[in-house]
Chain A
Amino acid sequence: MTTAVNPSKPDSRTGADLYLHMYRRMLMIRLFEEQVNDLYTRALMPGLAHLYIGEEAVAVGVCEALRTDDYITSTHRGHGHCLAKGASVDLMFAELLGKEVGYCKGKGGSMHIADPATGNLGANAIVGGSTGIATGAAFSAQRLGTGQVAVCFFGEGALGQGVLYEVMNMAALWKLPVVYVCENNMYNEYTHFSETTAGDILARGPAFGVPSEAVDGQDVRAVYDVAKKLVERARAGDGPSLLLVNTYRYHGHHVGDVSREYYRSKQEEQQWKTERDPIRIMGDWLVSQGLADRAALDKLHGEVKAEIDHGVQFALAAPYPSPDKVDQDVYA
């Protein structure tokens, strides 16, 4: 269930609390996604899913810099964003399995998780499709004087969509409190981004007068630090920014994309997993700083695993919506 938090109060986690919390959230996303892959493989989940494994530090580092009432928009690869913003594992699994108690009553599924209680305006299955929505939410925040910020998560594939630049232009003109977070996992579906993306990505923001920064997306502390700066900048009324987060998608474009040699090597995948894994990097750092020992991290792993297992059991046992619900919620 979503945590009740005073929405006007910025999250106050600091120091060891903050770092352990971020580690836990990344682990939760990792284990959640592994479970999703397992459900798919065992034919227990309808449809497909686009796994976020490898990119956990991006969602967690950015969302940790947000208030509960700040807005996010997410993508087809959105489970990580939703969980990082505070979604419940139980209701996420229930939605993925098409159950009535799921976040969207089973009407949205993996690619459309939405949750007003955590400021989640919805995951979007049109690449670049939520850039307008995020910018519009920032417009509301500015007009209503709520102090909220909107974060628009999108993959580097969305750099090919014109609407992104239309709304970035307006966000700059009107100084809207929005942070555009480009997750460059290096692959537009099955095509390396260098084949689709001309010039320097980071030069695209400054063309509109939008300050832009790049960060190592495998280092959650680095992501958090730069996100916090850009979010606070937006909240202070200084306008939009673009954050380019360089990361890597361990799995295929979706769970069924298992033979990937035609577009990338196993060696490349292995190198990222062994040398650049965001959870291992953060775990090692926590231990090296004396903020946790291996036993504590193992214990945390067990707790998160138990939460995931509970969520799956909850979702598997939950009933499907009755067919007569099919024409409800078409109109408000």
Chain B
Amino acid sequence: MVYVALITGFVLILMGLYGALTNRNILRIIVSFTISSTGTNLVLIAVGYMSGRTAPILDEAVNVADAAARIIDPVPQALVLTAIVIGLGVTALMLTYAYKLYETKRTLDISKYTDLKW
């Protein structure tokens, strides 16, 4: 189960990087980056998972005394929550810059933007 999630995460990272490196359209590059960051989040969550245990929420079923033996690691989940929010901010910024770039040259083809190329 953990391995399925880990392999899916790694494959998503690779797919995203491949898309970002080979596509010419800026919007497709942005989508590739979000796929890649989803893969990273999946790997982080999978590393914190332990089979046979439950979510880190305490109630009648999981009481405080034996919590340490029954819950999974809560730290990766907190980290991934942060990563998702920051990822969303980065995506919004990328889309905004893509819009500005389109406004200057009326194209989304990244090979047409040669100003910083040497």
Determine if chain A interacts with chain B. Answer: no
**Which B residues are closer than 8 A to A by beta carbons?**
none
